[in-house]
Amino acid sequence: MMTVNVLSLPPLHDAGSAFPSTGMLQVGAHRVDLGALRVISDDEPPVRLTLKSVQVLIQLARHQGVTVSRDQLLDTVWRGTLPTPEVVTQAIKELRRVFGDSRDTAEYIETIPKLGYRLIAEARFEDEPPRVDVAPETAAPAATEAAVDRPPPRREPRFGLALRRAAALAAVIGLGGAVVAFSTHAWSPRKTGPAWVAGAPWLVTTDPALELGPAISPDGTQVLYHVVDGAAQAGRVRLQNVTGSRALTVPQPAGSSDQYPSWSPAAGEIVFTRTQAQSCRILAMPALGGPARALGPCGADAVVRVDFSPDRHWLVGMAATFPGGASIGTGLARQPVGGGAAEPFPYPHTPGDIDLSPRFSPDGRLLAFRRGLLPYSDLYVMDVDAPDTLRRLTRFGSRVVGFDWTRDSRALVFSSDHGGEPALYAVDVGSGQIDALGIAPAVEPTLAREADVGAYRVPEHRFQFALLGADAPARLPAPSTTSDREAALSPDGRQIAFVSRRTGRDELWIHDLEHGDAYAVTSLEAGVPRLPEWRADGSGVLFVLRGDGPGRAFEVALDTRRLTPRSPAALDVHYLSAAPDGRLYAVALADGEHGLYALEPDGKADLLEPGVAFARAGDAATGLVFNYLDRVGLYRWRGKDLQAERIGDAPYFRYEMPWALAGATAFQVVAEFPTRRVEAIDLVSGARRLVGQVDQGLGITAVSSDASGRQLLVWLLDRDGGDIAAFTFRPAVATEG
């Protein structure tokens, strides 16, 4: 059994929450939309800025004509992190670039040697942002050339919110839906279609338990959610007023687990799943207590996370089916209310499609759901009576953790992390226009159907890295107060590549296990790096850059820090792997189908095998190993137009980096709770053996191996918590053309 050395990592930190996120700032001849992170100049298309650059500009404008020291900027803009002074220099460079300014002949920002910076251009804060048209060709720039929308965090302090709560509730509930003045974040819409305004959120719960799946009542006064007992892994459903009063726990029998609560179409009734004695049922009962009635079964081959069909005759949800015990797919299914066999929902679906979380619009005309190769997905929508109208509504290919309909059925509010941390957005189902709501971090949004109130979960994660190996050094990463994640062990086992927000935004970092230091190897202007992978010789690190568009493959050379694109712009890359001979491979999406691609040196991509979920490139003897979306087992690629060779059993797919490869051995994360272990699979004999386990944390998220397979790196979810928050939400008045 391998020994374990745990590398403790700090919790996620919210930076920039003290800065305004709305309005316009006039700076010389330019106007800066503080909410959209956009500079608007005469006769020029809008140019986006990073969040930190805007926050630096705000500080300089607040002290116009006065020198602001570098230390003051670090302490204010990067408060709670440990960045290098270089981050200030980079922010100033970006501001000068978009203003057309120069250090030598400064007209906007003057450098005061050894002291700091001074804004010498005239600056004035405006109360309201103007409406600006954005041409389609400038609305979604290439990931390598323009910054992605990065909405600033809007997390409220945990205390002193009583007055804000009362004012917001009086505005949307006590005054019959009339909206009074409150602090909002307005994002400029196009002339066709509405914009949306979200009020400042407030915390509803502060329980240290893991709180999941909020569902707000139709009138917006109460929130359902379930908490998880970490030791027993049992769920309990709770009901709480949005004012944050004491929660009511739904009674349940001993030994049962209640989860996934929602509101029934019947007034005052709630719906949830109850697991007990190896059985699962969907139950309905009065919200304030009373006898429960069974609506139907739930489980791996039945409907879970249900929504009611508009006629209330069906429960519609996602279901995993196993035809013949071999094929695996996740599609939408329905079953009669009150019991009966589940059946496929009638809509366009092909084997391998992973469809989740169906939600009917309040008017009953539309159905929306998530589709994508987990953990990435996009939103799709169709007419209930015309399934052939199915269309893709978003094209981020990001982690979409929850969505809900606006009460007028015109838009969806969803959580996406394409701009960095998960934030809330609204997408108009007619025009496809997307508005950032300025609320982050936020997942699992839920909206009331009779009031302008919503709720969401405020995620709070902490990760640890653990080395599994007898000779693994037990050295800690450099101190940090922010989030480190998604790590990969170098082929020689001496370094770790990982993603971190230590400079205030997501960058790729290297941790040297021998010397104990850590340093950033990227300085990205846009996008979020994901899932680093090492070159076999350790000279560079590959990663997927995700943002407002397809994922792109990039490589950073460790000696020069030079960044090189490795995939064509049209290919939506999800995973990367580098072979010892230097060849690069990607699991990517193109023309609506996932496949295994070879990335050519000229920037083109060659499809090798369709339907692939995950792949690793081994040595010459092992070759390309992968698993399919729609069947179990590991396979070896034998060449184009040749049938792949099945070489072992493994789960069809779990989440990112579900297994690692070293020689003829695959390393797989075992998901069962409470064990946190890794098993080795011999690809020749199929034999399995336990190679290591970790006795702390909530579970192993991923595994990485050095070239020899003697040392493994896993990253653990050490804390999964957060609170439920609420906010006011309404459509803004759209401008006329």
Q: Convert the pLDDT of each residue in 467-496 to its tens digit.
A: 876 555 434 455 555 668 889 999 999 999
Torsion sign across C-alpha atoms 33, 39, 42, 44: negative
Q: Please give the Cα distance from 703 to 661 (Å, whole number).
A: 10
Residue 220 lies in a domain: yes
Q: Is the pLDDT of residue 346 over 60?
A: yes
Q: Please give the Cα distance from 238 to 418 (Å, whole number).
A: 31
Share of the chain above pLDDT 90, in %: 30
Residue 540 lies in a domain: no
Task: Report which of residues 722 and 440 the model is more confident about.
Answer: 440
Query: Residue 471: what pLDDT?
Result: 53
Q: Please give the Cα distance from 332 to 319 (Å, whole number).
A: 6
Q: Is the pLDDT of residue 386 over 90?
A: yes
Residue type at 349 in one-letter notation: H
411 and 427 in contact (C-beta within 8 Å)? yes
Q: Please give the Cα distance from 321 to 302 (Å, whole number).
A: 8
Does residue 221 share a domain with residue 83? no
Query: Residue 446: what pLDDT?
Result: 97
Does residue 369 share a domain with residue 284? yes
Q: Is the pLDDT of residue 357 over 50?
A: yes
Angle between helices 51-62 and 70-77 (to 10 degrees): 120
Does residue 208 share a domain with residue 127? no
Query: Residue 193: what pLDDT?
Result: 44
Residue 643, C-beta contacts closer than 8 angstroms, at least 6 positions apart: none
Sorting pLDDT into bands at 50, 70 and 90, what band is 75?
A: confident
- In this structure, of 132-136, 286-290, 522-526, the range with the lowest mean pLDDT score is 132-136
- Identify the CA nearest to 612 among candidates 622, 592, 626: 626
Query: Residue 129: what pLDDT?
Result: 38
Reported as a single tens digit per residue, the pLDDT across 192-238 is 444 788 888 999 988 777 888 999 999 999 999 998 865 556 889 99
- In this structure, of 102-116, 246-260, 580-594, 663-677, the range with the lowest mean pLDDT score is 663-677
Reported as a single tens digit per residue, the pLDDT across 16-46 is 334 455 678 899 888 888 877 888 887 677 7
Q: Is the pLDDT of residue 724 over 90?
A: yes
CATH of the domain at 423: 2.120.10.30
**DSSP secondary-structure letter at 170?**
I
Q: Is the pLDDT of residue 52 over 80?
A: yes
CATH of the domain at 57: 1.10.10.10
Residue 92 lies in a domain: yes
Q: Is the pLDDT of residue 368 over 90?
A: yes
Does residue 235 share a domain with residue 130? no
Name the CA dihedral angle for 355, 361, 365, 368, rounded to a multiple of 10 degrees.
-20
Residue 370 lies in a domain: yes
Does residue 334 share a domain with residue 260? yes
Query: Residue 475: what pLDDT?
Result: 45
Q: Is the pLDDT of residue 452 over 90?
A: yes
Q: Which residues pair with 612 in a beta bridge?
A: 628
- In this structure, of 111-115, 116-120, 343-347, 540-544, the range with the lowest mean pLDDT score is 111-115
Does residue 270 share a domain with residue 125? no
Query: Residue 593: what pLDDT?
Result: 72
Segments forming the whole domain that contains residue 277? 162-178+193-460+722-731
Residue 293 lies in a domain: yes
Q: Is the pLDDT of residue 3 over 60?
A: no
| Token code pair at residue 56 | 């630096």
Share of the chain above pLDDT 70, in %: 77
Does residue 382 share a domain with residue 437? yes
What number is the average pLDDT over the span 68-78? 84
Query: Residue 726: what pLDDT?
Result: 94
Does residue 344 share a domain with residue 224? yes
Does residue 247 share a domain with residue 122? no
What number is the average pLDDT over the span 307-336? 73
How many domains does the chain contain in total?
A: 2
Burial 470-500 (b: 16+ CB within 10 A, else e): eebeeeebeebebbbbbbbbbbebebbbbbb
Report the mean per-residue pLDDT for the chain: 78
